[in-house]
């Protein structure tokens, strides 16, 4: 087989999208061209496969559905198995996501998503679920100032008045109070891809991204 035919065969088996999903490994430091230390987040890429193609004619919008990590046979369902069979998952997939974008030319079920979809220097928008911090008071959750710390004050970290007078006589929706802190979908814009290492399946992003270690994050080109 000639080199041209081999390249065409590889292209037919893979596709480049406007974004990727990767797993957060942790943070590190690298040095840029000026010799300055730069904080980076290390993301581990695992193979994703195109499991469905959404078209405006059939689904009302354009998107590429991708899947990752085969499901165990003991946890397989008939619906999940049937939906993922064409993508090569015998018992379904643990992770299924969608990337909404204009459909790439020739995209089809079963293709591998290339880590080369993102390149060094790209500006990306990173979305992840922030770390859950449990039940927290208003000082920690909303950065309330609190009351005096000394001189016999009995008001230190309390929320203060939250109600109203006779009219409307209730606490208004959206009032900042103590409660579950974190565990929310957070998006950080305009982060830069410092490097992509295909041989190690690693993506290096400048700065920090939301989420705990091993959490799944989405990177989309800005």
Question: What mean pLDDT do residues 191-213 have?
Answer: 95
Question: What mean pLDDT do residues 1-13 have?
Answer: 49
**Banded model confidence at residue 116, pLDDT cuts 50, 70, 90:** very high
% of residues, the chain, pLDDT over 70: 95
% of residues, the chain, pLDDT over 90: 86
Cα–Cα nearest to 117, from 21, 48, 199, 20: 20
Beta pairing class for 14-15 and 112-113: parallel
- Could you tell me if 191 and 206 are in contact, meaning their C-beta atoms sit under 8 angstroms apart? yes
The two tokens of residue 157 are 């970290």
- The rounded distance, in Å, linking the Cα atoms of 155 and 169 is 24
- What's the confidence (pLDDT) of residue 13? 85
Question: pLDDT, tens digit, for every residue of 13-37?
Answer: 899 999 999 999 999 999 988 899 9
Q: Is 70 helix (H, G, I), strand (E, B) or coil?
A: strand
Question: pLDDT, tens digit, for every residue of 68-81?
Answer: 999 999 999 999 99
Cβ-count burial 163-183 (b if 16+ within 10 Å, e if not): eeeeeeeeeeeeeeebeebee
pTM for the full model?
0.85
**Banded model confidence at residue 1, pLDDT cuts 50, 70, 90:** very low
Task: Locate the domains of the chain by residue range.
Answer: 3-131+183-221, 134-182
- The rounded distance, in Å, linking the Cα atoms of 141 and 176 is 9
| 3 against 205, higher pLDDT | 205
The two tokens of residue 71 are 């499901």
CB atoms within 10 A of CB 124: 24
Is pLDDT at 6 greater than 80 in this prediction? no
CA 4 from chain center: how many Å?
Answer: 36
- The rounded distance, in Å, linking the Cα atoms of 112 and 122 is 21
Question: What mean pLDDT do residues 199-203 have?
Answer: 96
3-131+183-221 topology per CATH: Elongation Factor Tu (Ef-tu); domain 3 (2.40.30)
**Banded model confidence at residue 4, pLDDT cuts 50, 70, 90:** very low
**Banded model confidence at residue 2, pLDDT cuts 50, 70, 90:** very low
**Banded model confidence at residue 11, pLDDT cuts 50, 70, 90:** low
**Banded model confidence at residue 218, pLDDT cuts 50, 70, 90:** very high
């Amino acid at each position: 087989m000639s080199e041209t035919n081999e390249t065409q065969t590889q292209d037919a088996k893979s596709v480049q999208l406007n974004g990727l999903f990767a797993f957060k490994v942790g943070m590190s430091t690298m040095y840029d061209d000026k010799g300055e230390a730069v904080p980076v987040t290390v993301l581990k890429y695992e193979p994703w496969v195109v499991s469905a193609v959404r078209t405006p004619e059939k689904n009302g919008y354009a998107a590429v559905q991708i899947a990752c990590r085969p499901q165990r046979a003991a946890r397989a369902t008939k619906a999940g198995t049937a939906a993922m069979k064409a993508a090569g998952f015998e018992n379904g997939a643990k992770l299924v996501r969608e990337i909404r974008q204009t459909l790439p030319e020739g995209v089809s079920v079963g293709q591998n998503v290339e880590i080369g979809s993102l390149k060094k220097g790209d500006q990306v928008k990173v979305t992840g679920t922030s770390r859950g911090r449990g039940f927290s008071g208003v000082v920690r959750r909303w950065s309330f100032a609190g009351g005096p710390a000394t001189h016999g004050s009995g008001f230190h970290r309390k929320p203060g008045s939250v109600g109203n007078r006779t009219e409307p006589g209730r606490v208004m929706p959206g009032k900042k109070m103590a409660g579950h802190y974190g565990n929310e979908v957070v998006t950080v814009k305009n982060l830069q891809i410092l490097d992509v290492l295909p041989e190690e399946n690693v993506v290096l992003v400048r700065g920090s991204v939301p989420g705990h270690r091993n959490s799944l994050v989405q990177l989309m080109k800005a």
